[in-house]
């Protein structure tokens, strides 16, 4: 089988994206997905995304983790898929699309994509960390000297030690200003550190506001792959109108024999 694909990245979080509106891609073949995401034997990516037709919105997002399993919501992946849909002419500068966690609204202006995330109605605050779901589950923990922190080792320890087989994404955070934070993330499904995580930085922004580390409702987050901005409102203890904004860029397109 010859498979045409596109490679996109959002602040270093990279994805293989395939136009599957004809429903030709074998979605049940988890080994194929894992192979395509493999950085040595395949294309290489943090995840694989299919763009499909949807009866109730402009398109549907189907997301797979790098290990081949279908995943929960991916914020940077969603932003990249919006850029891809715009490239194909499926949408203009504004869209509503369907994902595993429901409908998402987004706008695109050049390389910048602003994506509406799900509302967050619960932030569990523990003595040393917070836990919340922003479309995917996230552990948020403040640390010192983040630049030299062993994210892969400590992230794996928490991912399996606290959250078991189902797991959670693990975000390590260091505050750099009144409304600014640096973040490094260990992602389940990738089972390693990624350069950026959209649902992760969203979780960090909300957790830092909930814990009183920032009073701002517009939070800037620096990841190893680039800068993202998260904005939100808080109404009756619910975080709503949550938006994730940052660049989403096509890297290249190609064809692979598989």
**Numbered residues of the known binding site:** 13, 65, 75-76, 169, 187-188, 198-199
Q: Given the residues 37, 80, 197, 258, select the one marked as catalytic.
A: 197
Tokens 């062993």, residue?
150
Specify whether 37 is catalytic.
Answer: no
Active-site residue among 37, 74, 80, 258?
A: 74
Residues placed in the known binding site for substrate: 13, 65, 75-76, 169, 187-188, 198-199
Instruction: Measure the CA–CA gap between 35 and 43, rounded to whole angstroms.
Output: 8
Q: What is the 3-state secondary structure (H, E, C) of 36-51?
A: HHCCCCCCCCCEEEEE
Q: Confirm if 250 and 8 have CB atoms less than 8 A apart.
A: yes
Q: Which of 103, 118, 138, 113 is nearest to 9 (CA)?
A: 113
Half-sphere exposure of 11 (CA within 13 A, CB side): 31
Find the radius of gyration of the CA atoms of the chain.
17
227: exposed, middle or buried (Cβ count in 10 Å: 0-12, 13-18, 19+): middle
Number of Cβ within 10 Å of residue 2's Cβ equals 7
- C-alpha torsion 178→203→201→194, nearest 10: 140
For residue 74, indicate whether it is catalytic.
yes
Catalytic residue positions?
Answer: 74, 197
């Amino acid at each position: 089988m010859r498979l045409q694909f596109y490679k996109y990245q959002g602040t270093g979080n990279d994805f293989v994206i395939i136009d599957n509106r004809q429903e030709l891609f074998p979605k049940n073949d988890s080994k194929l997905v894992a192979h395509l995401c493999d950085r040595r034997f395949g294309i290489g990516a943090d995840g694989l995304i299919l763009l499909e037709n949807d009866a109730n919105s402009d398109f549907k997002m189907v997301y797979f983790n790098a290990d081949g399993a279908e995943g929960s919501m991916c914020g940077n992946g969603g932003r990249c898929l919006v850029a891809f849909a715009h490239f194909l002419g499926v949408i203009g500068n504004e869209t509503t699309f369907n994902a595993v966690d429901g409908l998402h609204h987004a706008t695109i202006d050049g390389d910048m994509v602003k994506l509406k995330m799900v509302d967050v109605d619960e932030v569990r605050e523990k003595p040393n960390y917070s836990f919340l779901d922003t479309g995917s589950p996230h552990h948020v923990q403040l640390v010192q000297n983040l630049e030299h922190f062993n994210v892969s080792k400590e992230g794996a320890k928490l991912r399996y030690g606290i959250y078991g087989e189902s797991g959670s994404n693990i975000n390590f955070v260091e505050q750099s200003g009144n409304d600014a934070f640096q973040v490094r993330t260990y992602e389940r499904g990738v089972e390693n550190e990624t350069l950026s995580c959209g649902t992760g930085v969203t979780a960090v922004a909300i957790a830092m506001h909930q814990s009183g580390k920032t009073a701002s409702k517009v939070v800037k987050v620096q990841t190893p792959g680039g800068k993202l901005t998260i904005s939100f409102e808080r109404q009756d203890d619910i975080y709503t109108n949550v938006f994730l904004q940052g660049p989403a860029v096509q890297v290249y397109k190609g064809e692979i024999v598989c």
